[in-house]
């Protein structure tokens, strides 16, 4: 008995139908553009940035506690059990001469360009807002100058020469005569090293969530091009045309340099910690180092953890501009109405996979496409069941 040939357009042949962009009547409006593939250089740079994030962004409370414990305990051990002399115990070593003595200058050298490029981007080129962010470095520079000058004043005014106080009344003449000046020498190096490290950490926080700005720009640009006014959760929706254009241009132009300066800030912070240990082991008394470190920590806490967090305070914290980009989730498309009720899925399924701490937006786009295909199959099956019953 000959088998019956199935019609080419039988209902069962439509079950595997996958509509695409070439199918007439298939609407592509509302589909978000996919991110561009990353190059090898970009991947390698992102790997280095990820390592720097892990190194620099240690919990600040823990780091401050380590600073305090090290200044007190290690200084006592260094006085009781003198450590052997090394290259770092020499005051003329290269790192001490060309980095520590110019410590605040190096901190400004790597932080200022980073602050300018990041603030210019998330402030969309607004000059007044950029200057407000630069005010933080101005305040930090004033604090550095005020405290180090006060340390020098206390040592020189309230100290005395070990030879003849009447003959050598100043520190300069005492040292020039080959004698020693005894005074309360609060360690300016300890202050600079700790305060610089804390400022570097706080200013570098502007890079948190930086990669997500690219996706915000891409989605907002697509929504504006197609005239989609339904998407209102994008933080960039409130920007004007000029502000949005400035954001796009500055983000593309500055991002590579921002990453490079962030790496430099990480290396400088590590160098400051190494030189801090050297200073604790070989220089100053316990009380001189502890007082200096306490002043540095209190100055940082007052500015970055109290002053800049006050409502309507100026200046603002790093990363605060015309839109919010830190820890911002990408806006979801409006859910389509389904003909078949499905059970709620767990939140774990919707969590976006990450690589080196960065979200993989490409995988989410792939999941969205697969979900759309599944929805199409469900709608097709429903229509076929309805036609068969009729």
Give residue 345's pLDDT.
Answer: 44
Q: Three-state SS across 309-366?
A: HCCCCCCCCCCCCCCCCCCCCCCCCCCCCCCCCCCCCCHHHHCCCEECCEECHHHHHH
pLDDT score of 389: 53
Cα(213)–Cα(346) distance, rounded to whole angstroms? Answer: 28
Note the pLDDT of residue 39. Answer: 81
Token pair 């000046």: residue: 181
Co-location of 179 and 281 in the same domain? yes
Residue 192 maps to a domain: yes
**DSSP string of 247-295?**
HHHHHHHHHHHHHHHHHHHHHHHHHHHHHHHHHHHHSS-HHHHHHHHHH
In a shared domain, residues 267 and 378:
no
Do residues 128 and 236 both lie within one domain? yes
Domain finish residue from 294, 309, 324: 309
Q: What is the DSSP letter of 13?
A: G
**E strands, 168-227, in order:** 181-182
Q: With respect to residue 8, please indicate whether it lies within any of the assigned structural domains.
A: no
> Do residues 353 and 297 both lie within one domain?
no
296 with 184, same domain: the answer is: yes
Q: Look at residue 142 and give its three-state secondary structure.
A: helix
Does a structural domain hold residue 316?
no
Bond into 384 cis (ω within 30): no
Is residue 63 one of the residues assigned to a domain? yes
Same domain, 63 and 130: yes
106 and 147 part of one domain: yes
**pLDDT score for 26:** 42
267 lies in the same domain as 343:
no
Q: What is the pLDDT of residue 42?
A: 82
Give the other-Cβ count within 10 Å of 24's Cβ. Answer: 5
Query: Whole domain around residue 364: which residue ranges?
Result: 335-390
Question: Do 200 and 125 reside in the same domain of the chain?
Answer: yes
Quote the pTM value: 0.76
Co-location of 168 and 256 in the same domain = yes
Which residues are catalytic, by number? 189, 284
User: pLDDT tens, position by position, for the chain (390 residues)?
Assistant: 444 444 444 444 444 444 444 444 444 455 666 667 778 888 898 899 999 999 999 899 999 999 999 998 988 888 787 778 888 888 888 898 899 999 999 999 999 999 999 999 999 999 999 999 999 999 999 999 999 999 999 988 888 887 776 677 777 778 777 778 888 889 999 999 999 999 999 999 999 999 999 999 998 888 888 876 666 688 998 899 999 999 999 999 999 999 999 999 999 999 999 999 999 988 888 899 999 999 999 999 999 999 999 988 889 999 999 999 987 655 444 444 443 344 444 444 445 555 555 555 455 555 555 665 666 656 656 665 555 555
Residues 87 and 218 in one domain: yes
pLDDT at 352: 54
* Residue 175 falls inside a structural domain: yes
In a domain, 19, yes or no: no
Domain total in the chain? 2
Angle in degrees, CA 357, 359, 360, rounded to 5:
125
Residue 115 and residue 318 in contact, taking contact as beta carbons nearer than 8 Å: yes
Residues 148 and 217 in one domain: yes
Contact status, residue 204 vs residue 115, Cβ threshold 8 Å: no
Structural domain contains residue 319: no
* 353 lies in some domain: yes
């Amino acid at each position: 008995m000959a088998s019956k040939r199935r019609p080419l357009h039988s209902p069962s042949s439509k079950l595997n139908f996958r509509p695409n962009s070439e199918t007439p009547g298939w609407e592509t409006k509302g589909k978000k553009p996919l991110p561009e593939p990353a190059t090898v250089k970009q991947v390698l740079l992102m790997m280095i940035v990820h390592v720097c994030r892990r190194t620099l962004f240690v919990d600040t409370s823990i780091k401050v506690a380590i600073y305090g414990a090290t200044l007190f305990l290690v200084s006592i051990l260094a006085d009781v059990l003198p450590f052997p002399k090394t290259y770092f115990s020499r005051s003329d070593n290269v790192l001490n001469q060309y980095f520590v003595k110019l410590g605040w200058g190096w901190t400004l050298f790597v932080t200022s360009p980073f602050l300018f490029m990041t603030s210019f981007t998330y402030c969309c080129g607004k000059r007044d807002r950029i200057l407000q962010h630069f005010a933080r470095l101005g305040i930090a520079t004033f604090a550095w100058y005020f405290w180090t000058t006060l340390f020098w004043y206390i040592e020189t005014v309230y100290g005395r020469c070990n030879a003849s106080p009447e003959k050598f009344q100043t520190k300069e003449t005492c040292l020039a005569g080959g004698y020693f000046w005894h005074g309360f020498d609060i360690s300016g190096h300890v202050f600079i090293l700790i305060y610089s490290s804390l400022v570097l950490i706080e200013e570098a926080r502007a890079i948190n969530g930086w990669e997500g700005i690219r996706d915000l720009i891409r989605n907002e640009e697509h929504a504006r091009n197609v005239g989609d006014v339904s998407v209102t959760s994008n933080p960039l929706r409130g920007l004007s045309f000029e502000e949005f254009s400035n954001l796009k241009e500055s983000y593309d132009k500055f991002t590579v340099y921002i990453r490079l300066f962030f790496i430099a800030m990480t290396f400088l912070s590590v160098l400051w910690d190494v030189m801090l240990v050297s200073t604790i082991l070989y220089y100053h008394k316990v009380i001189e180092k502890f007082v200096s470190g306490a002043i540095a920590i209190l100055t940082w806490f007052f500015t970055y953890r109290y002053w800049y967090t006050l409502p309507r305070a100026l200046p603002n914290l790093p990363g605060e501009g015309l839109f919010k980009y830190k820890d911002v989730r990408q806006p979801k498309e409006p859910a389509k109405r389904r003909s078949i009720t499905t059970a709620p899925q767990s939140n774990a399924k919707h969590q976006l996979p990450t690589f080196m701490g960065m979200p993989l937006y490409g995988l989410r786009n792939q999941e969205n496409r697969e979900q759309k295909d599944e929805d199409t199959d469900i709608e097709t099956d429903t229509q076929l069941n309805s036609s068969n019953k009729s």
